[in-house]
């Protein structure tokens, strides 16, 4: 995409996308690629540097993922992190074995060589460890740079080659000064100037879309969320009326969703907008279904059926555009041939059958949520659209636990609307990254007036996060929570109890299903 490219070789680390995010924050463009990318392909891409991610494997296992060893002969700077470090050291003459004690959590790092990677870094600092193996001995070509109490080779450098290794994770928030290490690697070792900006992304993506699409038409699915809205706005900027935006009203949307989409794209951008009322199709297909992944599959299947039907009214349509982001990709198992584990299915990633008949365009696939918001502002989208909280592809179906009915959705929608309005009125909406209500499949005893009630419960969820890969629950004021609970119980028929979710991700996910 530009002449300052860094490649991140994916060995299945849960933190792989965090590495990419940190590199982007330093204004250097990066791509996550297969761990076994060939040295010839790397030479063609001509990156300024290569980062080897961590991973769950042991380097001495028979089928452990390996990289092409010729990469180390290209004279391109390499930084191995955790498993990546072990792989580098093993490939260049060191030995790796099980640690005396598995390290998981914070450790104190002592720096012995403050040059190169550790320029301007504290002599002692906290780092985050997550490993069962470690480098046990080095060949004479490596020198140690830092150690912890249980890991004497926590950071190393090759004497002749621009090759480095870190046993800890500099990309996570638990390593407070980790970004400084990455900055030193990118700037001092790789020679990057930090030239990648959002305007650059817009220019290059617009040019790429125009070249790929030619005179054909593109169908873009709109959900009303930030991702699909920014995707559509980018396509409208690139190819104008060649893009047809399809909004499927599946009956699983938030309050007022259809009106917002109409106003934004038909009135604001003058886009070719098709609104499809498919509520009955979705609710009929979901009748009696309680298993979360099955819900997602059904919604994805019906979504595609509706799209295919509506697409027949759009002559010359050859491409389907989606607002897929990096977090969507990693949670659905990474790239189609990558080693990451599947956490949950996103219908806009995993539900597209080959027989769809369209070529796929995913212009936001390399971006994180905060980058998408910056892009939206760059494209001129209204701020109330840009700062809308994320909304799952399957909509309220995965916030209505158990079976999905029109009555339950109505109850949930009312409670959710109250919660979000109170957050906005109290100035807390922009302070939280995502907030929503969940309708629980349980009933509990209550008292209203002089009578006993036996009604449903609503769970409130509000989290704060930088990247949506990890998240902590929002410490909302007690009086705000009390007001929300009172409003919901008094105004939403069938609810007599409100609870607040204080679990973090991990171990929980942000959504309940």
CA dihedral defined by 204, 207, 210, 211, rounded to 10 degrees? -100
Query: Is 229 annotated in some ligand binding site?
Result: yes
Nearest alpha-carbon partner for 130 in 181, 64, 83, 179? 83
Question: What is the reported pLDDT for 102?
Answer: 60
35, 131, 158, 169: the catalytic one is 169
SS3 of residue 159 by DSSP = coil
Question: What is the reported pLDDT for 350?
Answer: 42
Say if domain 399-500 classifies as CATH 3.60.15.10. Answer: no
Question: What is the reported pLDDT for 55?
Answer: 82
Query: Is 130 annotated in some ligand binding site?
Result: no
Nearest alpha-carbon partner for 364 in 354, 374, 352, 356? 374
Cα–Cα distance measured from residue 128 to residue 178, given in angstroms and rounded to the nearest whole number: 9
For the chain, residues with pLDDT lower than 50 are: 1, 330-353
Query: Is 228 annotated in some ligand binding site?
Result: yes
Question: What is the reported pLDDT for 349?
Answer: 39
Structure confidence by residue, pLDDT tens digits, 54-89 = 888 787 778 888 999 999 999 999 999 988 988 888
Q: Which residue shows structure tokens 């470090």?
A: 85
Question: What is the reported pLDDT for 339?
Answer: 44
- Phi then psi for residue 435, to 5 deg, are -145, 140
SS3 of residue 116 by DSSP = helix
Query: Is 466 annotated in some ligand binding site?
Result: no
103, 171, 422, 513: the catalytic one is 171
- DSSP state for residue 398 in the 8-state scheme: G
Question: What is the reported pLDDT for 450?
Answer: 65
Residues ≥6 apart with Cβ < 8 Å to 363: 205, 208, 209, 231, 234, 235, 321
Between β-strands 29-34 and 142-147, what pairing exists: parallel, antiparallel or unpaired?
unpaired
Residue 431: both structure tokens together: 């302070």
Question: What is the reported pLDDT for 342?
Answer: 38
Query: Is 188 annotated in some ligand binding site?
Result: no
Residue 350: both structure tokens together: 């995993």
Question: What is the reported pLDDT for 249?
Answer: 92
Cα–Cα distance measured from residue 239 to residue 215, given in angstroms and rounded to the nearest whole number: 9
Question: What is the reported pLDDT for 80?
Answer: 94
Question: What is the reported pLDDT for 338?
Answer: 45
Write the Ramachandran bin of 29: left for phi over 0, alpha for psi from -120 to 50, otherwise beta: beta
Asked if 363 contacts 228 with a C-beta cutoff of 8 angstroms, the reply is no
- Please say if 245 is a catalytic residue: no
Cα–Cα distance measured from residue 185 to residue 235, given in angstroms and rounded to the nearest whole number: 35
Question: What is the reported pLDDT for 305?
Answer: 87
Angle at 3 between CA 42 and CA 49, to 5 degrees: 45
Q: What share of the chain is helix, strand, coil (3-state, %, to 5)?
A: 35, 25, 40
Angle at 44 between CA 43 and CA 48, to 5 degrees: 60
Question: What is the reported pLDDT for 196?
Answer: 87
Cα–Cα distance measured from residue 53 to residue 65, given in angstroms and rounded to the nearest whole number: 11
Say if domain 198-386 classifies as CATH 3.30.420.40. Answer: no
Asked if 125 contacts 109 with a C-beta cutoff of 8 angstroms, the reply is yes
- Confirm whether 5-189 and 198-386 share one CATH topology: yes
The domain limits of the chain are: 5-189, 198-386, 399-500
Residue 320: both structure tokens together: 């389907």
Say if domain 5-189 classifies as CATH 3.40.50.880. Answer: yes
67, 82, 231, 400: the catalytic one is 82
């Amino acid at each position: 995409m530009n002449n300052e490219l860094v490649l991140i070789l994916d060995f299945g680390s849960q933190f792989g996308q965090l590495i990419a995010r940190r590199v982007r924050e330093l204004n250097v463009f990066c791509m996550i690629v297969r761990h076994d990318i060939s040295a010839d392909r790397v030479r063609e891409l001509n990156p300024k540097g290569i980062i080897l991610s961590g991973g769950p494997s042991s380097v001495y296992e028979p089928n452990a993922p390996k990289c092409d060893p010729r990469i180390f002969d290209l004279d391109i700077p390499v930084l191995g992190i955790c498993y990546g470090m072990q792989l580098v050291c093993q490939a260049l003459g060191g030995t790796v074995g099980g640690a005396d004690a598995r390290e998981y959590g914070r450790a104190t790092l002592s720096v012995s060589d403050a040059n190169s990677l550790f320029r301007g870094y504290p002599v002692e600092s906290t780092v985050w460890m997550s490993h069962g193996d470690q480098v046990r001995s080095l060949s004479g070509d490596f020198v140690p740079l830092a150690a912890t109490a249980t890991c004497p080779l926590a950071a190393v450098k090759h004497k002749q080659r621009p090759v480095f290794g870190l046993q800890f994770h500099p990309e996570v928030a638990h390593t407070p000064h980790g970004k400084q290490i990455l900055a030193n690697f990118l700037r001092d070792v790789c020679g990057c100037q930090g030239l990648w900006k959002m305007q650059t992304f817009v220019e290059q993506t617009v040019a790429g879309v125009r070249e790929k699409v030619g005179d054909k038409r593109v169908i873009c699915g709109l959900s009303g969320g930030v991702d699909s809205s920014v995707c559509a706005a980018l396509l409208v900027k690139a190819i104008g009326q060649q893009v047809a935006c399809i909004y499927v009203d599946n009956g699983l949307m938030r309050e007022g969703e259809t009106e917002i989409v109409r106003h934004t794209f038909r009135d604001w951008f003058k886009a070719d907008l098709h609104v499809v009322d498919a509520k009955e199709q979705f609710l009929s297909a979901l009748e009696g279904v309680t298993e979360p992944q099955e819900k997602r599959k059904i919604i994805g299947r019906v979504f595609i059926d509706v799209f295919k039907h509506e697409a027949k009214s759009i002559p010359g349509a050859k491409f389907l555009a989606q607002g897929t982001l990096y977090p969507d990709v990693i949670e659905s198992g990474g790239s189609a041939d990558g080693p990451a584990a599947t956490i949950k299915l996103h219908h806009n990633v995993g539900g597209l059958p080959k027989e769809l008949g369209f070529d796929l365009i995913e212009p936001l696939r390399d971006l994180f949520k905060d980058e998408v918001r910056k892009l939206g502002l760059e494209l001129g989208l209204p701020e109330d659209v840009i700062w809308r909280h994320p909304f799952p592809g399957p909509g309220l179906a995965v916030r209505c636990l158990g079976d999905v009915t029109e009555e339950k959705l109505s109850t949930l929608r009312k409670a959710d609307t109250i919660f979000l309005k109170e957050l906005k009125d109290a100035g807390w909406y922009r302070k939280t990254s995502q907030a929503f209500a969940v309708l629980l499949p349980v009933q509990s005893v209550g008292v209203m007036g002089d009578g006993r009630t036996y009604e449903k419960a609503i769970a409130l969820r509000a989290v704060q996060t930088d990247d949506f890969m990890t998240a902590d629950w929002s410490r909302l004021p007690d009086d705000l929570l009390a007001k929300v609970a009172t409003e919901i119980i008094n105004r939403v028929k069938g609810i007599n109890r409100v609870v607040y979710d204080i679990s973090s991700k991990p171990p929980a996910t942000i959504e309940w299903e």
